[in-house]
Amino acid sequence: MSIEQTKLKDHFPMIRDRQAILSDIMSSASMSATFNSWSMDRQSLFLDICSGARGVKMLYDSFFKEILNPEQTPNRLSSLLSELLGRKVTVKNVLPNDSERLADEMSLVITDIVVELEDRTIANVEIQKIGYAFPGERASCYSADLLLRQYKRVRDERKKSFSYKDLAPVYTIVFMENSPHIFYQFPDVYVHYISETSNTGIELNLLQNFIFIPVDIFISRPHNEIINNKLDAWLTFLGCDDPERIIQLITAYPEFKPMYSHLYDLCRNIEGVMDMFSKELTIMDRNTVRYMIDDLQEQLDATTEQLNSATEQLNSATEQLNNTTEQLNNTTEQLNSATEQLSNTTEQLINANTHIKSLNSENSSLTNENKSLADEVSRLQKLLSDNGIDPDKNN
């Protein structure tokens, strides 16, 4: 017998030891076949729960409905809801579930209980083994559905005397054993209250309210911080299977001890508990598949969004490139035009230079001719002077 089992057996003497439980299983062909169909880890988990080596997690559907059955023990669920709603409430009626919703949501919604309180408030209590990828969107849809069903029911009951004031608030309360990633952004918060508010402070009686409880975040808190009030006590009862914390709970809040006694009385019926456990395993396997699908879908949506963003950036870059290419073509056209003008100007300069050279050549020829004439005049003047004739006098 383990130390943990001994600790719980001191408080719950009805707990049987592991070997006795295993002997009962092996003595029955049907129980033995079921037990041997499980993996070694699941066999060990089952024996741990029944023998008190670990506590029973109340977030298992079968155990939750057995211990917190609103028809048989409404005071228990009333106590839990009182702590969550912050006021004393009493479960008055159990309302029918939406069969279409149950068929659609069976893979992840483990427990779905709808109750009416004494003040006509409607509370939908859900347990999810694995949180949905889109908890806000999904909860909004089903809260709206719950409110619409209340509207139809009350309208049919009141007929002509019906008034919208007859409608009561609707609370969607979701317990998550493995909460979505977004809740881990608030590691110090384990109860999220969400309701409609205005930016002006105006108060309207909007009817939809939401409470999300990431039980895994609560359980991950340090051991000495886990039970500070009655709400902590309830969350410990729902999500904790550590024997030391269970003993801490029933010591601080003895009203939980009868519930554990109820659980361990159930565990003495090995065949019945095996059937309950088998259903839980089926649900867990189905949950895992659905969660993987949702997780992959979320990744696909994120990848698609990134691809769309990249495509948009590429289209923008392509447009800029096209604009730049057009500008370059215009610049090239202007450059070609300028080059053509430059070529024409160059040709004109060459022609002008040739003409200047021709003129220079003609000027040089005239200069030479002029010089020859001057030389001839000087020679004639000298000849006249040599013959005694003054060239400057007229004859």
Q: What is the mean pLDDT of residues 348-377?
A: 84
Give yes or no for residue 296 having a pLDDT over 80.
no
Sheet holding 170-176, edge to edge: 91-95, 109-117, 122-128, 170-176, 208-214, 192-195
The DSSP result for 342-380, as a single string, is HHHHHHHHHHHHHHHHHHHHHHHHHHHHHHHHHHHHHHH
Higher pLDDT, residue 300 or 55: 55
> Mind listing the pLDDT tens digit for each residue in 37-95?
988 988 898 899 889 898 887 888 788 888 998 888 899 999 999 999 999 999 988 88
Q: Give the model's pLDDT for residue 6.
A: 64
Predicted TM-score (pTM) of the model is 0.68
Q: Give the model's pLDDT for residue 354.
A: 87
Give yes or no for residue 233 having a pLDDT over 60.
yes
Higher pLDDT, residue 68 or 104: 68
Whole-angstrom Cα distance, residue 34 to residue 21? 14
